[in-house]
Amino acid sequence: MRAPDQAPALAAALAAPFTAVPDLIARHAEARPEQPALVQGDAVLTFGALNAEADRVAAALQRDGVRPRDVVAISGANSIAYAIVFVGALRAGASVAPIPQSTAPAGLAAMIADSGATHAFVDADVRRALAPHREALRARIVALDGGAEDTSLERWLGTGAARPRPVDVEPDWPFNVIYSSGTTGTPKGIVQPHAMRWTHVQRGSTYGYGPSAVTLISTPLHSNTTLVSFFPALALGGTVILMAKFDAGRYLALAERHRVTHTMLVPVQYQRLLAHPAFDRHDLSSFQAKFCTSAPFTVPLKEEVLRRWPGGLIEFYGMTEGGGTCVLLAHEHRAKLHTVGRPAPGHDIRVIDEAGRELPRGALGEIVGHSPGMMTGYHGRPDATAAAEWFDAQGRRYIRTGDVGRFDDEGFVVLMDRRKDMIISGGFNVYPSDLEAVLREHPGVMEAAVVGVPSLQWGETPVAFVVPAPHAALDAAALRDWANARLGKLQRLADVQTVEALPRSHIGKVLKRELRAAYAARLPSVKR
Which residues have C-beta within 8 Å of that of residue 352, sequence separation ≥ 6? Answer: 358, 359, 365, 366, 368, 390
pLDDT at 186: 60
User: 173 in helix, strand or coil?
Assistant: coil
CA–CA distance, 102 with 511 (Å, rounded to integer): 15
Q: Assess contact for 67 and 37: CB atoms under 8 A.
A: no
pLDDT of 422 over the 90 cut = no
pLDDT of 161 over the 50 cut = yes
| Structure confidence at residue 182 as a pLDDT band (50, 70, 90) | very low
Average pLDDT rounded to a whole number, residues 325-341: 97
121 DSSP 8-state letter: E
pLDDT of 5 over the 80 cut = no
| Structure confidence at residue 53 as a pLDDT band (50, 70, 90) | very high
Quick: pLDDT tens for 470-520: 989 899 999 999 999 999 888 999 999 999 999 988 778 899 989 998 888
Q: Assess contact for 206 and 6: CB atoms under 8 A.
A: no
Q: Which residues pair with 315 in a beta bridge?
A: 292, 328
Quick: pLDDT tens for 55-86: 999 999 999 999 999 999 999 999 999 999 99
Average pLDDT rounded to a whole number, residues 168-192: 83
Task: Count CB atoms within 10 A of the CB of residue 382.
Answer: 9
Which residues have C-beta within 8 Å of that of residue 80, sequence separation ≥ 6? Answer: 38, 40, 43, 45, 242
| Structure confidence at residue 296 as a pLDDT band (50, 70, 90) | confident
Average pLDDT rounded to a whole number, residues 133-156: 86
The better pLDDT of the pair 421, 349 is held by: 349
Which residues have C-beta within 8 Å of that of residue 444, sequence separation ≥ 6? Answer: 468, 469, 472, 473, 474, 479
List the helix and strand counts (H, then E) for the chain. 16, 26
The better pLDDT of the pair 222, 1 is held by: 222
| Structure confidence at residue 183 as a pLDDT band (50, 70, 90) | very low
pLDDT at 411: 97
pLDDT of 526 over the 80 cut = no
pLDDT at 184: 45
CA–CA distance, 263 with 213 (Å, rounded to integer): 10
pLDDT of 327 over the 90 cut = yes
pLDDT at 148: 62
Helix (H) or strand (E) holding 514: helix 512-522
pLDDT of 150 over the 90 cut = no
Q: Measuring CA to CA, which residue among 259, 278, 213 is closest to residue 2?
A: 213
Q: Measuring CA to CA, which residue among 370, 344, 372, 368 is closest to residue 357?
A: 368
Q: Measuring CA to CA, which residue among 371, 352, 372, 367 is closest to residue 412?
A: 367
CA–CA distance, 198 with 193 (Å, rounded to integer): 9
Distance of CA 403 to the CA centre of its chain: 16
pLDDT of 331 over the 60 cut = yes
pLDDT at 149: 56
Which residues have C-beta within 8 Å of that of residue 55, sequence separation ≥ 6? Answer: 88, 91, 162, 163, 164
In this structure, what are the phi and psi dihedrals at residue 49, rounded to the nearest 5 degrees?
Answer: -70, -40
pLDDT at 294: 84
Handedness of CA 294, 296, 302, 305 (dihedral sign): negative
CA–CA distance, 377 with 448 (Å, rounded to integer): 34
Q: Assess contact for 526 and 455: CB atoms under 8 A.
A: yes
Average pLDDT rounded to a whole number, residues 259-278: 95
User: 289 in helix, strand or coil?
Assistant: strand
Q: Assess contact for 115 and 176: CB atoms under 8 A.
A: no
Percent of the chain with pLDDT over 90: 77
pLDDT at 147: 65
The better pLDDT of the pair 390, 323 is held by: 390
Among 171-185, 212-226, 426-440, 448-462, the range with the most confident prediction by mean pLDDT is 212-226
Q: Measuring CA to CA, which residue among 127, 121, 124, 129 is closest to residue 157?
A: 121
Which residues have C-beta within 8 Å of that of residue 11, sequence separation ≥ 6? Answer: none
pLDDT at 339: 97
pLDDT of 6 over the 60 cut = no
How far is residue 32 from each of residues 46, 51, 198, 270, 364, measured CA to CA in Å? 9, 11, 22, 34, 51
CA–CA distance, 115 with 137 (Å, rounded to integer): 11
The strand ranges marked E within 218-324 are 239-242, 262-265, 289-292, 312-317
Distance of CA 20 to the CA centre of its chain: 21
Cα end-to-end span (Å), the chain: 51
CA–CA distance, 413 with 419 (Å, rounded to integer): 16
Domains in the chain with CATH codes: 8-245 (3.40.50.12780), 318-418 (2.30.38.10), 422-522 (3.30.300.30)
Average pLDDT rounded to a whole number, residues 26-47: 96
Average pLDDT over the chain, rounded to an integer: 92
309 DSSP 8-state letter: S
What interhelical angle do 21-31 and 194-204 show, nearest 10?
Answer: 50
Average pLDDT rounded to a whole number, residues 365-370: 95
pLDDT at 79: 97
CA–CA distance, 183 with 358 (Å, rounded to integer): 27
Percent of the chain with pLDDT over 70: 95
pLDDT of 213 over the 60 cut = yes
| Structure confidence at residue 3 as a pLDDT band (50, 70, 90) | very low
| Structure confidence at residue 181 as a pLDDT band (50, 70, 90) | low
User: 197 in helix, strand or coil?
Assistant: helix
CA–CA distance, 367 with 407 (Å, rounded to integer): 10
pLDDT at 454: 86
| Structure confidence at residue 305 as a pLDDT band (50, 70, 90) | very high
User: 181 in helix, strand or coil?
Assistant: coil
